[in-house]
């Protein structure tokens, strides 16, 4: 099976660019709808951070450290490195007796406009706290303190990553064919898109067991603190707010996007094959409308799937639209 | 005919993302090699600026205004808005008795790091001189002064744009099926990828007539001033320098790239269907190596088609590569 046409850019009455990809909508029983090839193996990248955070709760480490829902949202985040994110991760590390040098995620300039400007104009350098994955890594460090593992918690055979791998394989219901090293240096386990969709359905319709309780807690944390999961203006945050909490949404690098719809018991996962975030954001937006949790007239829809694209002088130059057959 | 696999991103021994597209290599007699569908209609966007500059020379306007080769390179440019570009366009307008408000390209923040930083940290706003197309628009204004047209020189039926359309249809040897409005508000005429490749071959192997002389002058200007065509670190500039003037190269938005190889009498044109510049830059790099004008060991090749992609901590996470069958 091949990828499917998902998102198109039009100009002058003509299709200028097109994004292909794969998408699935799942419930507990399996795939409800699919586009492209649900069996395609992908790297979920940061879209699976809520899976990576399961051992943090299930081990008892989160409660032992007294983590709040806001911190759990941050453990699932690819944040913008705004002051609120940087300070929250710094406070978290302080609370567990650790500090920025204990992180292994590396430094990059924050996407948050104000913090980026502050650093740029003061000749400041970003710290590892600015890394969009620093919340996930704070979670890893918290788990690691609990497990009494060595400091190189991002190594694939480290107890922290082995716990993550076990949870990942259980919720995707697959044996992972391998891992890649992510931008933040942690291993990122591969799975089929269908496996990722199944995992999101499990988060949407969790059981009453220890795992189900951990899933519910993470999804509720994400929905309660959408600004901690990404940042002001970022797609995940915008879409979670626009669905008024009906969906927890999370992006991953190279155009992966997932959504968890607890009231519907539905999980969504998609991957745009070319890795363009403009397309994965548009595609998840279209699927949230399709599933009835996002109003087609909501400004978030026009933001990510604009009916009119304007140039520097405000002239209409074209539009972005879904391809025939996607989603309906 | 469908698009072809062109460029791939690999991670953890697995293909993570893929870019498809169309590419042609032409000489005066037609298509020598092709990938995907050369008959696909595209918007060349800024890749055709040397075509849009033909009437500027052929009309006598460039000589009447005493334009230098550096200014002609700027007329073909999508520049980074560095101080040197902004000042050169400002001086040009001054030289023809016009000024920034006469431009119709709109304002956007410059890509040039230093100028962007200067504006950001001084609360400054970009002017139309910073627009990456301001050199092309200075060329339009110079032609317009010569033609004594009205001030709205970017309207499709304006004498300036009609002259551009005539030249475009002649060198592509096609009747354009229509236009789209570009980011800079000028009409951008559509053509087949093969037509664009044919046009680049004509620039590479021009005749001795008035048109041939104009083509030669523009290609020589681009090769003599690669820093004016894009900017320090930009793909067009880097690749022109790396080929030591054996190729004039120009990018267009939504992943179009062309190259003109005068010593070989060859023109190249490509479009990545998803619009990703990382892929069009990688693909044109691969084609320049394929054509023997760029050494496979040149740092420019590893820059645009990296054998090792490193994360924030310097760890190797994967690589970028050409797909099987592209280019060879």
pLDDT per residue as tens digits for the range B19-46: 999 999 999 999 999 999 999 999 999 9
pLDDT over 90 at B313, yes or no: yes
Omega of the bond leading into B327 within 30 degrees of 0 (cis): yes
Length of chain A: 328
| Shortest Cα distance, chain A CAs vs residue B91, angstroms | 23
**What confidence tens digit (pLDDT) does each residue in A267-322 have?**
999 999 999 999 999 999 999 999 999 999 999 999 999 999 999 999 999 999 99
pLDDT over 90 at B253, yes or no: yes
Of B215, B208, B177, B213, the residue nearest B44 (C-alpha): B177
Total domains in the fold of chain B: 1
| Shortest Cα distance, chain A CAs vs residue B188, angstroms | 9
Of B242, B240, B196, the residue nearest B49 (C-alpha): B196
Torsion angles phi and psi, residue A170, rounded to 5: -70, -45
**What confidence tens digit (pLDDT) does each residue in B2-24 have?**
999 999 999 999 999 999 999 99
With respect to residue B221, please indicate whether it lies within any of the assigned structural domains: yes
Residues of B in contact with A117 (CB under 8 A): 120-121
pLDDT for residue B170: 98
pLDDT for residue B195: 98
**What confidence tens digit (pLDDT) does each residue in A195-221 have?**
999 999 999 999 999 999 999 999 999
pLDDT for residue A265: 98
Question: Are A8 and A18 in contact, with CB atoms under 8 Å apart?
Answer: yes
With respect to residue A117, please indicate whether it lies within any of the assigned structural domains: yes
pLDDT over 90 at A1, yes or no: no
**What confidence tens digit (pLDDT) does each residue in B128-159 have?**
999 999 999 999 999 999 999 999 999 999 99
Of B191, B171, B179, the residue nearest B260 (C-alpha): B171
* DSSP conformation letters of A263-274: TTTEEEEEEETT
Q: What is the model's pTM?
A: 0.98
Complex prediction ipTM: 0.97
With respect to residue B75, please indicate whether it lies within any of the assigned structural domains: yes
pLDDT over 80 at B1, yes or no: no
pLDDT for residue B324: 98
Q: Which residue of B has its CA nearest to A20?
A: B274
Asked if A276's CB is within 8 angstroms of B275's CB, the reply is: yes
**What confidence tens digit (pLDDT) does each residue in A67-98 have?**
999 999 999 999 999 999 999 999 999 999 99
Asked if B274's CB is within 8 angstroms of A190's CB, the reply is: no
| Shortest Cα distance, chain A CAs vs residue B122, angstroms | 9
In the numeric block, which tokens belong to residue A302?
A: 């026009």
With respect to residue B327, please indicate whether it lies within any of the assigned structural domains: no
pLDDT for residue A318: 98
pLDDT for residue A189: 98
Asked if A317's CB is within 8 angstroms of B180's CB, the reply is: yes
Asked if B180's CB is within 8 angstroms of A14's CB, the reply is: yes
Q: What sections of chain A are H helices per DSSP?
A: 49-52, 54-58, 61-64, 69-75, 83-95, 113-121, 134-147, 159-172, 193-204, 210-224, 226-229, 235-242, 277-290, 299-304
Q: Which residue of A has its CA nearest to B11?
A: A180
Asked if A255's CB is within 8 angstroms of B9's CB, the reply is: no
Which one of B42, B185, B190 has the shortest CB-CB distance to A311? B185
Asked if A9's CB is within 8 angstroms of B315's CB, the reply is: no
Q: How confident is the model at residue B105 (pLDDT cuts 50, 70, 90)?
A: very high
Of B286, B250, B290, B296, the residue nearest B21 (C-alpha): B286
Asked if B43's CB is within 8 angstroms of A16's CB, the reply is: yes
* Best to test chain A binding among B254, B312, B318, B320 (most A CBs inside 10 Å): B312
* Best to test chain B binding among A15, A252, A279, A313 (most B CBs inside 10 Å): A313
pLDDT for residue A61: 98
| Shortest Cα distance, chain A CAs vs residue B207, angstroms | 33
Q: How confident is the model at residue A140 (pLDDT cuts 50, 70, 90)?
A: very high
Residues of A in contact with B7 (CB under 8 A): none
With respect to residue A229, please indicate whether it lies within any of the assigned structural domains: yes
CB pairs under 8 A between A and B: 141
With respect to residue A244, please indicate whether it lies within any of the assigned structural domains: yes
pLDDT over 90 at B257, yes or no: yes
Q: How confident is the model at residue B92 (pLDDT cuts 50, 70, 90)?
A: very high
Reading phi first (left if > 0) and then psi (alpha if -120 to 50, else beta), residue A79 is in: beta
**What confidence tens digit (pLDDT) does each residue in B200-250 have?**
999 999 999 999 999 999 999 999 999 999 999 999 999 999 999 999 999
Count H helices and E strands in chain A, helices first: 14, 12
Q: Which residue of B has its CA nearest to A273?
A: B17
Q: Which residue of B has its CA nearest to A316?
A: B181
Q: Which residue of A has its CA nearest to B254?
A: A17
In the numeric block, which tokens belong to residue B176?
A: 């354009």
Structural domain including A235 reads 4-322
Residues of B in contact with A131 (CB under 8 A): 312
In the numeric block, which tokens belong to residue A275?
A: 């890795």
Average the pLDDT over B56-64 and give the result.
98
Asked if B16's CB is within 8 angstroms of A184's CB, the reply is: no
With respect to residue B328, please indicate whether it lies within any of the assigned structural domains: no
Tell me, what CATH number does A160's domain have?
Answer: 3.40.710
**What confidence tens digit (pLDDT) does each residue in A15-42 have?**
999 999 999 999 999 999 999 999 999 9
Which one of A16, A185, A313 has the shortest CB-CB distance to B315? A185
pLDDT for residue A41: 98
Average the pLDDT over B122-129 and give the result.
97
Asked if B188's CB is within 8 angstroms of A106's CB, the reply is: no
Residues of B in contact with A121 (CB under 8 A): 117, 120-121
With respect to residue A218, please indicate whether it lies within any of the assigned structural domains: yes
pLDDT for residue A296: 98
Asked if A42's CB is within 8 angstroms of B12's CB, the reply is: no
Q: Which residue of A has its CA nearest to B107?
A: A312
């Amino acid at each position: 099976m091949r990828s499917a046409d998902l998102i198109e850019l039009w100009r002058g009455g003509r299709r200028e660019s097109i994004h292909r990809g794969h998408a699935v909508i799942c419930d507990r029983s399996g795939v409800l709808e699919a586009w492209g090839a649900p069996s395609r193996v992908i790297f979920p990248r940061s879209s699976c951070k809520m899976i990576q955070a399961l051992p943090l709760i299930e081990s008892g480490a989160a409660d032992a450290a007294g983590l709040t829902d806001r911190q759990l949202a941050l453990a699932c985040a690819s944040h913008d490195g705004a002051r609120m994110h940087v300070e929250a991760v710094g406070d978290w590390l302080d609370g567990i007796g650790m500090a920025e040098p204990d992180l292994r995620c590396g430094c990059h300039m924050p996407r948050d406009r104000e913090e980026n400007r502050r650093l740029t104009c003061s000749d400041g350098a970003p710290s590892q706290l600015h890394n969009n994955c620093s919340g996930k890594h704070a979670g890893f460090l918290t788990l690691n303190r609990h497990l009494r593992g060595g400091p190189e918690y991002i190594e694939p055979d480290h107890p922290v990553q082995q716990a993550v791998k076990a949870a990942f394989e259980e919720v995707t219901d697959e044996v992972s064919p391998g891992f890649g090293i992510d931008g933040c240096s942690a291993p990122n386990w591969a799975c089929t898109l269908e496996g990722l969709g199944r995992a999101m359905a499990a988060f949407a319709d969790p059981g009453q067991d220890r795992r189900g309780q951990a899933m519910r807690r993470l999804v509720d944390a994400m929905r309660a603190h959408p600004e901690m999961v990404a940042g002001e203006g970022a797609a995940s945050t915008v879409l979670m707010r626009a669905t008024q909490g009906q969906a927890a949404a999370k992006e991953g690098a190279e155009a992966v996007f997932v959504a968890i719809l607890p009231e519907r018991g539905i999980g969504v996962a998609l991957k745009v094959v070319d890795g363009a975030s403009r397309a994965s954001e548009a595609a998840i937006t279209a699927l949230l409308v399709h599933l009835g949790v996002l109003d087609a007239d909501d400004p978030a829809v026009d933001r990510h799937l604009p009916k009119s694209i304007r140039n520097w002088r405000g002239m209409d130059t074209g539009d972005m639209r879904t391809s025939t057959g996607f989603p309906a």
